[in-house]
Amino acid sequence: MKVLEDFPSVQLPLEWLPPMKTRAFSISSSPLAHPNQVHLTVSVVSLTTPFKRNRAGLCSAWLANLDPSKGFLMDEHSLCALWGIHRRKGLQSQSTSTAPVMFFFGCRNEENDFLYKDFWLSLAENDGVLSESEGGGFFVAFSRDQPWKVYVQDKMRERGHQVWSLMNSGAAVYVAGSSTKMPSDVWSALEDVVVKEGEVPKDSAVRWLRSLEKSGRYHVEAWS
């Protein structure tokens, strides 16, 4: 539509235009922690075109301008790390026993995009759901805060023993983030962890991880 505004002499019948692309967003809150609310964590897209015009992302800007007190309806549900952790926290506050959680968080810089920093850190303290005293842990990988890349899978390899121990005692794996290379690299790191800590050959490790996937204990939510 914006292109057509730039060229008003072009009279294109509206029905020739393709339908607008669907945008999928992850729900980042749990109904246990926030009953009757849905939280979305969205980066508002804003850019300058080659013609030096400022443009905002259609859906992200629309969301950012909504009045939360008025509410809106959604028809899709999906899971992400934040949702899961909120849920665990909700269960813990209801004194329901929760299994240990290891959470690996990766972003570019601690300074700019360590989203929910205070929330994560508070859960890693005392007897929080991510605390080591509860058998879990919180691990960060800031990829661009040093001259070499550090990614979540590097942190998983470092903590391979604990990762294996949780997975082997029934833990589920949730992978959320960019769909380009991250999910396959995380999978490879877990293969290495299973080989090393489980002392099995690579093909057995692959079969074991696939069986987790089949039984609903390995989930990937990725976007590009």
Q: What residues line the site for ligand NAP (CB under 6 A)?
A: 43, 106-108, 112-113, 143-144, 149, 151-153, 177-178, 181-182, 185
Shortest Cβ 142–ligand NAP spacing (Å): 7
**Residue placing its CB nearer to ligand NAP in the complex, 85 or 176:** 176
**Residue placing its CB nearer to ligand NAP in the complex, 41 or 49:** 41
Q: How many other C-beta atoms can be found within 10 angstroms of the C-beta atom of residue 27?
A: 20
- What does DSSP assign to residue 69? G
Q: Is residue 105 classed as helix, strand or coil in its secondary structure?
A: strand
Angle (nearest 5°) at CA 34 between 33 and 39: 115
**Residue placing its CB nearer to ligand NAP in the complex, 84 or 100:** 84
Distance CA 174, CA 78 (A): 12
Q: Is residue 139 classed as helix, strand or coil in its secondary structure?
A: strand
Shortest Cβ 184–ligand NAP spacing (Å): 8
Shortest Cβ 81–ligand NAP spacing (Å): 12
Residue from 162, 95, 82 nearest 127 by CA: 95
**Residue placing its CB nearer to ligand NAP in the complex, 80 or 182:** 182
Instruction: Please count the residues of the chain.
Output: 224
Shortest Cβ 25–ligand NAP spacing (Å): 12
